[in-house]
Each structure stands twice: as C-alpha cells, then as structure tokens.
Amino acid sequence: MSKYIFVTGGVVSSVGKGITVASIGTILKSRQISVTAQKLDPYLNVDPGTMSPYQHGEVFVTQDGAETDLDLGNYERFIDVNLTTESSVTSGQIYSEVIAKERRGDFLGGTIQVVPHVTSEIKDRFKRLAEKSKADVVIIEVGGTVGDIEGLPFLEAARQMRNEVGRDNILYVHVTLLPYLNSTKELKTKPTQHSVNELRRIGIQPDIIACRSDYPISEEIRNKISLFCDVERKAVIPLTTVSTIYEVPLVLEEEGLGQLIVDKMKLKPRPPDLSQWQELVNLIKTPREPVKIALVGKYVELQDAYFSVREALQHAILHHGRDLELIWVPSETLENSGDVSVLRSVQGIIVPGGFGIRGIEGMVRAATYARENKIPYLGLCLGMHVMVIEFSRYALGSNEANSTEFNADTRYPVIDFLPDQKGQKIKGGTMRLGNYPCELVNGSRAAQAYGQSPIYERHRHRYEFNNEYRQRLEKAGMVYSGLSPDGRLVEVCEIADHPWMLASQFHPEFTSRPGHPNPLFRDFIGAAKNVLREGAQPPLPLSSNL
Ligand code: GLN
C-alpha cells in the first residue's frame, strides 16, 4: 500500500513548494523508494490550458496529453518519471465530476455537499494515482496558500486521509516563508505561526515545517518555531535560497529531511545516493565559457511561461560543459523596421511555442535573420510554424504566406487546419495533445540527434503543416525529417542549406532531464557553441607589407 506525503504552503505563494515536493521525491528516490507526485490546483478551470501564460506560466503537457501546471515539469525532471493525467487535479475537474454524477443520479436523491461528496471525489483521485503508480510514496502538493477559500476542500480531504490510511502512512509537510525585516535585521516567525494555526484549525498538525528564507536561519529561530508550532526541533528544516534549484535536494538531505521522513513513515530504504545530483550541482557552479542564445517569444516578460524551455537549454548547455547566457527578446520589438541588432551577438536563436498573432512578424524576422546569417535556429511548435512561414515567403516570393491562425484569408496558407479539423470552434480540449510517434528520415539532423526511430514526443497545438506546399518548399530546400507513421503530418523540418536550422511540431523541451538533455536541444547547443561570438573573431594576420 502506498503512503502519502501532503505538502501545504503558508504565508505567501511562490515560496518554492513545487521544488520542495520535487526535491522530497529526489531524496526518497535516491534511497530506492519509488515515488510519484500529484498537484492539486484550487482554481475552477478544468485544466490550465485555457489560461493565459501571464496568469499561470507554462502549461506543461504529460505524455498522455494532460495540460497541467508547470510544477509537474519540475516533478518529472527531479524524480525522472513520466507522469500522467492522474497527477493533475483541479477544483474544476472535481466539481464537474461531482455534478455529472449528480445528473446521472449516482447519489440516489441525496443532498450533495462539499463534505462528503466533494472530499470523497478528491480522495478517490489520491487513491487512483496510488493504485495506478504502485509507488511506495505519493507526494501531493496542495496548491495555493493555507487559508484560501478555494483550497479548503483539498485540505479537508488531506485531513480525512489520516484516519483512512493510519498515522504511520501519512505525513504533513508545511512550507512557509520567514520574511526579513531590514529595520531590525531579523527574520520573523509570526507569519509561520499564523499559517500553522490556520492549518490546525482545519485539523492538520504539520509533522515537518520547511522554512524558506533569503537569510541564514539561526538556532534560536528554529527553536522558536519548534516551540510555537509544536513540531520537533529536527523537523524544522531551513530552506535558505540557493543559486540553482537543483541544489535543493542536497540542502534538504543535509538538513536530515530524508532520514526524518524514513523514520516517521517507517519506510525501508537503501542508503541514499545523491552523487549524481552532487556532480550536477558542482558542474553548474563551475565557471564555464558561455554560449549566448536569444529566446524570441511573446511572453518573455514572464519567464515562467517558458520554464521547460529554459531548463532544457540548461541541460543541453551542461552536456557541452558550457554556461547559458540567455537573452529574452520580446518578439514585438523586432517587428516592422524594429532593430534586429540585438541578434547580432547571439550564437543561436530559439522560437518557442505560443498562441495568437501578437509578435509573430517579429519571430519571422528572427527566423529570416537566422537563415540568412546561418545562425543555428530551433523552433518549437509555433517556432516551426514561424520557420515554415518565413521559408515560404522566401521560396514562394510572396510576403503573404502565413498560418491561417494569423490570417484566415491568406493566399498561401502554409500552416492550416487539416481538412478533417475544419469547423472546430470550441477552444477547450480541441488540440493535438500528448505523445505521438514520429518517424525520422535517415541522414537528417533530427535522425542524427535522436539516433533512433520512431521517437515519441509531446504535442500541444491545433494547426499543422499544409501538405499542399510540401513539394514546392522541398524543391526550394526544405527537408521533412520527421513524419507521422502514415506520412500525413510533418513533425520535424529542416533547412538543407544551413548549418543547423530545425523545427519540430512537438515540444521537445518536455522530455529533457538533467543528465539526459533532449537530443534536439543538445545538438542545437552543439551547433551554437561553434558560432563565433561577436568580437571573438581571430584578428586578421598582419602582414609586414600592409
Ligand atoms: N498556435 C499554434 C497552434 O495552435 C502553436 C501552438 C504551440 O506553439 N503550442 O497550432
């Protein structure tokens, strides 16, 4: 039977609860304890797929096509598992399921209430994941902050689980923030005490309190939290800010969290082995020569919108023993006669996924710059559409080539709905989502990168390459290096006459892991690192008769 760890958050959001969950997973897995993770999101959207990235950051896609919170990406990268739709639960899903059951008459004329109907539905989700994954430990992150109205049913369900599975099989971890007051130069524990009180009011006494802080936490503070919040002194775990998120498992291990969890839950572990993480962190902290990459996108003001892209770049950079110098270029600034000189100093250009017309022309200009100046280019989903639009404008000799997403009446709809997709109007749940197989063409850069075929990568899009233009673009030098097994869908394309210009209809960033960079990111950086940086060109040989 699986055991459960519930992780709640106090004081403010964004204290790193997701990374704490992921790191707990890492330290348990390092003891050969099998783990999986689940995120409970209190909003009423059925999934975050319909939310703006400005509100919610990146939408992470699981292999089975669930559109989820970006925290799931961190769970996958830290625990090195492929999660499924069961790992993502929103209030919207729970309520719509309860209401659907009521409509079907499943409750036999009863009064439908938050307790027990909603809470039972939530507990079913915990148990379903436990059963399906057969993990020794299921780690569950309760989204939001304790005290939020929306989060109450989730907390109540977490409380009820204690009696169902027994005290040794459940653990409550509370992550809080210790704010620093500059005037008195001290960390304050009062907000933590209040949030623990709030938890207790709901009936949950935390077993462990992880305290986020930007400053070192003194023994005195730890003692105070232990006394006021009624947790053991060794269960007050300091979590001071570190320079890389990959260091968090090492910090938690050092503070004894792994052993504490093992003891409290009576787990039977192997000795921990975090040597690979230690190596990774050592590598990250070693000064290395940078590779300068421009990320040209629409949502660059909120870098969380490209969380997995940044991580995948980081994994690839580490593989090559280099450092990432990432510049974020708002694509709108490159539009019309906008200044593209910012691209002059970069060694690679990446155009990530996105929706809507804003900033598209700037991305197309970035692709033109990459093609004409032979700068490595990696396009991800929308980045493939942009590469195809750009190349078509050049090959067809018309600036009208476009995606019907941006111009429904374009003369050259090089990216379009497939004939059987036309007529779709609903925006929720109408995308090609999750893993699809892709056959790679021998000798292509994509085939070289992956070294195998077929490959499976994750999708999230509505529009596709329009096959009516296949031949014409091929003649002009476009290579279709990845196709669906029936040959109907272009999944990867490349520019033949270019050192490395490649784009995929899927999102390779979702499968990249520390230590195993995604092959496309790896080879993109491999090509970029060979581009001379501005100012790094060797001086001309000076001959004496000049
Ligand atoms: N907007 C494009 C589509 O819907 C691309 C989506 C994406 O980049 N994820 O097909």
Mean pLDDT, residues 316-345: 92
Please give the number of the atom of ligand 1 that sits closest to the Cα of 463. 10
User: For residue 118, is pLDDT > 80?
Assistant: yes
Please give the number of the atom of ligand 1 that sits closest to the Cα of 381. 8
Residue 39 Cα to ligand 1 midpoint, Å, equals 25
| Active site annotation includes 121 | no
Closest CA to 141 of 80, 70, 45, 54: 70
pLDDT band at 543 (very low <50, low <70, confident <90, very high): low
**Percent over 70 (pLDDT), the chain:** 96
Catalytic site residue from 211, 229, 381, 493: 381
Residue pair 399/360 in contact by the 8 Å Cβ criterion: no
Mean pLDDT, residues 375-394: 98
C-alpha Rg value of the chain to the nearest Å? 25
User: For residue 420, is pLDDT > 80?
Assistant: no
Residue pair 254/277 in contact by the 8 Å Cβ criterion: no
Residue 484 Cα to ligand 1 midpoint, Å, equals 18
Please give the number of the atom of ligand 1 that sits closest to the Cα of 382. 8
Provide the strand spans (E) within 222-318: 236-240, 290-297
Please give the number of the atom of ligand 1 that sits closest to the Cα of 405. 1
What is residue 121's predicted lDDT score, i.e. its pLDDT?
96
Q: What is the pLDDT of residues 423-434, one digit of tens each?
A: 555 555 578 999
User: For residue 110, is pLDDT > 50?
Assistant: yes
What is residue 71's predicted lDDT score, i.e. its pLDDT?
93
Please give the number of the atom of ligand 1 that sits closest to the Cα of 354. 8
3-state DSSP helix/strand/coil % of the chain, to nearest 5:
40, 20, 35
98 CB-side CA count, 13 A: 22
Spell out which residues line ligand 1, taking CB within 6 angstroms: 353-355, 381-382, 405, 460-463
Atom 1 in ligand 1: which residue has the minimum CA distance? 355
Residue 501 Cα to ligand 1 midpoint, Å, equals 19
Residue 345 Cα to ligand 1 midpoint, Å, equals 28
Catalytic site residue from 174, 385, 461, 507: 507
Among 50, 295, 380, 405, residue to substitute to test ligand 1 (most atoms within 8 Å of Cβ): 405
Cα(493)–Cα(69) distance, integer angstroms: 29
Residue pair 62/83 in contact by the 8 Å Cβ criterion: yes
Residue 382 Cα to ligand 1 midpoint, Å, equals 5
User: For residue 443, is pLDDT > 70?
Assistant: yes
- Which amino acid type is present at position 519? P
Residue 36 Cα to ligand 1 midpoint, Å, equals 29
Write out the two tokens for 279: 């190596």
Residue pair 8/173 in contact by the 8 Å Cβ criterion: yes
Residue 448 Cα to ligand 1 midpoint, Å, equals 26
Write out the two tokens for 422: 């036309």
The DSSP secondary structure of 112-146, one letter per residue, reads P-IIIIIHHHHHHHHHHHHHHH--SEEEEEE-S-T
Q: What is the pLDDT of residues 334-377, one digit of tens each?
A: 998 778 889 999 999 999 999 999 999 999 999 999 999 999 99
Residue pair 378/520 in contact by the 8 Å Cβ criterion: yes
Atom 6 in ligand 1: which residue has the minimum CA distance? 461
Write down the pTM of the prediction: 0.92
Among 52, 460, 466, 489, residue to substitute to test ligand 1 (most atoms within 8 Å of Cβ): 460
Q: What is the pLDDT of residues 259-300, one digit of tens each?
A: 999 999 999 889 999 999 999 999 999 999 999 999 999 888
Q: Is the peptide bond preceding residue 485 cis, with omega within 30 degrees of 0?
A: no
What is residue 367's predicted lDDT score, i.e. its pLDDT?
97
Cβ neighbours for 36, distance < 8 A, ≥ 6 positions apart: 79, 81, 83, 87, 129, 133, 135, 137, 138, 139
pLDDT band at 108 (very low <50, low <70, confident <90, very high): confident
Among 384, 389, 461, residue to substitute to test ligand 1 (most atoms within 8 Å of Cβ): 461
Number of Cβ within a 10 Å radius of residue 338: 15
What is residue 546's predicted lDDT score, i.e. its pLDDT?
47
Cα(7)–Cα(194) distance, integer angstroms: 17
| Active site annotation includes 509 | yes
Residue 40 Cα to ligand 1 midpoint, Å, equals 26
Question: Which residues on adjacent β-strands are paired with residue 403?
Answer: 415
pLDDT band at 394 (very low <50, low <70, confident <90, very high): very high
For residue 405, CA distances in Å to 165, 220, 416 come to 50, 59, 7
Atom 7 in ligand 1: which residue has the minimum CA distance? 353
Cα(382)–Cα(405) distance, integer angstroms: 11
Q: What is the pLDDT of residues 194-237, one digit of tens each?
A: 999 999 999 999 999 999 999 999 999 999 999 999 999 999 99
Element (H, E) at 330: strand 323-330
What is residue 424's predicted lDDT score, i.e. its pLDDT?
55
Please give the number of the atom of ligand 1 that sits closest to the Cα of 380. 8
Please report, for the chain, how many H helices and E strands are present, in that order. Answer: 17, 23
Among 360, 457, 463, residue to substitute to test ligand 1 (most atoms within 8 Å of Cβ): 463
Q: What is the pLDDT of residues 462-491, one digit of tens each?
A: 999 999 999 999 999 999 999 999 999 999
Write out the two tokens for 472: 């014409």
